[in-house]
Amino acid sequence: MKYDIREKSREPDYRNFLKVLSGEAPSRPTLFEFFLNDPLYAFLLKKDRLVFNNVNEYYMERTRAYETAGYDYITILACDLVFNMNDPHSIKTKSLNDAVAIKDRVSFDRFIWPNAGDFDYSRLDYIGKRLPKGMKIIPYGPGGVLENVISLMGYDNLCYAIYDNETLVHDIFEKVGSILVDYYKIVSPRDDVVAIISNDDWGFNTQPMMSLEDMKKFVIPWHRKIVEAIHEAGKPAILHSCGNLEHLMDDIISVGYDAKHSYEDNIMPVEKFYPLYKDRISILGGIDLDFVCRATPDEVYKRSMEMVMSAERGYALGSGNSIPEYVPFENYMAMIAAAY
């Protein structure tokens, strides 16, 4: 494989990633990826498949794979907090109206809300004690504010309820938002944590999932509180959010997010996004996922190299979203090889 970097020597150094998040130039090209996939983790480790007996061992395998690929951190879901037990997590795609748990005030009052403090966060301790030298942890959330409200209500129901029962909508956002703030207050202060991802998909290809007015009324205030909780612990906050957020970028920046992740060419290529926002927020990833799948390895390498060379500061190389199983291994390796 032309772009195989598995034998190359590259020691992790989380300080490079911190420089990216602060808008500075790292000492070497720096990588960012939200998550990869199990076959790719195994490939990076030169195994036929991952071998693990529990969630702690699974995250340790992922940590070794991230180290091999040249990342300075490992992303971890800190606990098994979930809002909607009816949500069919096992399938790869689903309707935004499936498995509705809250339909009205009666079902809201009957709903059993989780308490962030009741969950087991010991996987952070397990990985934290075994981190390779130079690596740290980036915890991410159990879905985001808007995502979890949609999971509980259904997307169509949410849209109707904004007009028919705004008080109920407000109360659901209040519950979900406050629980997520508590989650981030628990995970952010740890010494082995370098930054936090707040993951909450907000948009479609053409616009946000709710009107700008409703996004500012129901969603943005809770993200402000999430960022405040992360910053109070002295950690940078990363927003991972898909969709066309052009008209929300001022809000994203004003609430204090240090970096933005998730880009698509059919919305705005990262090469255009970077010069527009580089002085206001750090940019992570951006090499379009469809491009990484369909282009040749040489084309992926060329585009990735050009992005690395043109982004003088506040940028980490990676895909526009994540690396699912259908991404060819060599194309992924060609992308990250540009950082070597």
**HEC per residue, the chain:** CCCCCCCCCCCCCHHHHHHHHCCCCCCCCCECCCCCCHHHHHHHCCCCCCCCCCHHHHHHHHHHHHHHHCCCEEEEECCCCCCCCCCCCCCCCCCCCCCCCCCCHHHHHHCCCCCHHHCCCHHHHHHHCCCCCCCEEEEECCCCHHHHHHHHHCHHHHHHHHHHCHHHHHHHHHHHHHHHHHHHHHHCCCCCECCEEEECCCECCCCECCCHHHHHHHHHHHHHHHHHHHHHCCCCEEEECCCCCHHHHHHHHHCCCCEEECCCCCCCCHHHHHHHHCCCCEEECCECHHHHHHCCHHHHHHHHHHHHHHCCCCEEECECCCCCCCCCHHHHHHHHHCCC
Query: CATH classification of 52-281 is 3.40.50.1820, yes or no?
Result: no
Q: Of 119 and 88, which is predicted with more confidence?
A: 119
pLDDT at 110 over 90: yes
Task: Measure the CA–CA gap between 18 and 236, rounded to whole angstroms.
Answer: 8
Which pLDDT score is estimated for 99? 73
259, two tokens:
């970096």
pLDDT at 172 over 50: yes
How does pLDDT run across 13-39, given as a tens digit for each residue? Answer: 999 999 999 999 999 999 999 999 999
Give the domain ranges of the chain: 52-281
Which pLDDT score is estimated for 98? 67
Which pLDDT score is estimated for 87? 57
pLDDT confidence band for 234 (50 / 70 / 90): very high
Q: How many residues does the chain have?
A: 340
Task: Measure the CA–CA gap between 45 and 57, rounded to whole angstroms.
Answer: 14
Which pLDDT score is estimated for 88? 46
